[in-house]
Copies of this chain bind each other. A is one copy, B any other.
Amino acid sequence: MQIPSLSRLIAKFKSLPGVGIKTATRYAYNIIEGSKENAQEFASAILDAVNSIHFCSVCGNFTDIDVCSICQERDKTTICVVSDPKDINAFEKMGEYKGVYHCLHGTIDFQKGRGVDDIRIKELMSRLTGVKEVIIATNADISGELTASYLANQIKPLGIKVSRLAYGISLGSEIEYADELTLQRALQDRKIL
């Protein structure tokens, strides 16, 4: 006795990350119980976003203009390299960083068949004139580390400083509960006081 248009809406919500059938049903009921205006605004918000947002032609971050405002306005002598546009979001929320970004759109991962030419490394190498420091902020997993050391090997010979984010125990978390890899890394990278 399901209503086809309701089932389709539930299926669409279920396609979002981490949403199961119960949550999707709850979202769908919220839409059909709400006003038509709200639903129209929701539908337009989805269409406006996909139609206006694309990748910045310089750094690869999401933008609704050709060259994003970060690339236009900020200190170009420091580039922070991330694998995903969402990582830029995290940095911007922190607000401390004043340089520009470069989004690789992935990391080198031979298991997944992603080599050096499949991510935006060439684009990074072509932006390095006048750059003083490249901060590598890929994740601390195998492919993130591999990408970091590959980039370091390519960029250091050009006389540019290359750094990597510090990894270790999260602030506010307890050593007792730290996983082994994190603790190992925190020990290796210990700081002399």
A25 — which chain B residues lie within 8 A by C-beta? 89
- Encode contact with B along A49-77: 1 for CB under 8 Å, 0 otherwise: 11111000000001110001110000000
Of the residues B26, B38, B49, contact of A5 by C-beta under 8 Å: B49
Question: Once bound together, how far apart are the Cα atoms of A34 and B110, in whole Å?
Answer: 24
In the assembled complex, the Cα of A4 lies from the Cα of B34 at a distance in Å of: 24
Instruction: Evaluate contact between B32 and A26: CB separation under 8 angstroms.
Output: no
- Within 8 Å of chain B (Cβ to Cβ): is A112? no
Please report which residues of chain A, range 2-46, place their CB below 8 angstroms from some CB of chain B when the two chains form the complex. 3-6, 8-9, 11-12, 15-18, 23, 25-32, 34, 36, 38-46
Q: Is A86 an interface residue (CB 8 A)?
A: yes
- A92 contacts chain B at the CB level, 8 A cutoff: yes
Known: A12-B42, A26-B18, A27-B17. A6 touches B47 (CB 8 A): no
Q: Binding site of A, secondary structure by majority: helix, strand, loop or mixed?
A: helix
Copies of this chain, complex-wide, total 2
A52 and B1 contact, Cβ closer than 8 Å, known pairs A39-B47, A40-B47, A47-B39: no
- Whether A30 lies near B45 (C-beta < 8 A) is no
Closest Cβ of chain B to A37, distance in Å, is 10
Residue in contact with A36 in the complex, picked from B11, B50, B89, CB distance below 8 Å:
B50
Say whether B47 contacts A43, CB under 8 Å: yes
Instruction: State whether the Cβ of A180 lies closer than 8 Å to any Cβ in chain B.
Output: no
In contact, A36 and B16 (Cβ under 8 angstroms) = no
Interface residues of A in 72-96 (CB under 8 A from B): 85-86, 89, 92
Instruction: Report whether A32 and B50 are in contact in the complex, using a CB–CB cutoff of 8 Å.
Output: yes
Q: How far is the CA of A27 from the CA of B18 in the complex (A)?
A: 9
Is the Cβ of B46 less than 8 Å from the Cβ of A42? yes
Could you tell me the distance between the alpha carbons of A57 and B1 in the complex, rounded to whole angstroms?
16
B49 close to A1 (CB less than 8 A): no
Q: Please name the 3 residue pairs, one residue from A and one from B, whose CB atoms are nearest each other, closest first.
A: A43-B43, A39-B50, A9-B49
